[in-house]
Amino acid sequence: MSNIIITINRESGSGGREIACRLGEMLGLKVYDKAIIESIAERYHLTIPEIERIREEKLNFWDDFCQFYRQFSAAGDSYQAENKKVTSRELFYAEAQIMRKLAQQESCIFVGRSGFHIFKDNPDAIRIFIMANREVRIQRFAQREGINEEAAAKLIDEIDKARENYTKTFADTSRYDARNYDLTINVSPFTTEYVAALLAENIRKKMK
């Protein structure tokens, strides 16, 4: 059978990444998130902060796309980027390429990276959005980062805005649109273990 691809987008502070990791353990699947970015960093000879900065840049869509298309046409499938400016659109296409290749090799879980959009036409993809009430997110984020709740709230708002801008730019949709997902769940009343077990039980049925 085809590989099962699970994409998990999440609100910052919702515990989505922790749920993804626990789900991966339960199903015996690899979980990919920052590892994808690190692969791109190695390919482009850039640091992780540089890549994150490029991804958040405001774009002139047409100019940026034309630049990428010319370079891609000249380089084929190699994505060699030495001696040229790397754009955020190039990075998005490189991310998508890496994710699709990983999905061809094995069943796996992708956290973030607009996976719901990259695999939107894949019938074997299960697209999930993890959300939580704002007060729960703030408390969780503050505890995780070791900061006060006021600072946590500010950072969450900044991350939410950056992720939404990124999704609208490259996926031409809102990450909050439930139509992009097979399942949207508010995890506020539940433990990470319970949510992961609930997802695992239903995903196993599809995998069988």
Which residues are CB-neighbours of 68 under 8 A, at least 6 positions away? 87, 89, 90, 93
User: What H or E segment, with its residue span, contains residue 37?
Assistant: helix 34-44
Query: Which CATH number characterizes residue 17's domain?
Result: 3.40.50.300
- Rg for the chain, CA atoms, rounded: 18
Return the closest-CA partner of residue 171 out of 180, 161, 162.
Answer: 180
Average pLDDT per consecutive 10 residues, the chain (208 residues; last block may be shorter): 89 94 95 83 76 69 51 50 66 86 92 93 94 96 94 94 90 94 96 96 83
- CB–CB of 10/114 below 8 Å? no
Concatenating the DSSP letter of every residue in 39-68 gives HHHHHHT--HHHHHHHHTS---HHHHHHHH
**Structural domain that includes position 174:** 5-207
pLDDT at 190: 95
pLDDT at 40: 75
pLDDT tens for residues 47-84? 777 777 777 766 554 455 455 545 544 555 444 444 45
- Per the structure, the count of domains in the chain is 1
Q: How far apart are the first and last CA of the chain?
A: 9
- Does this model's pTM top 0.75? My answer is yes
Return the closest-CA partner of residue 199 out of 25, 12, 13.
Answer: 25
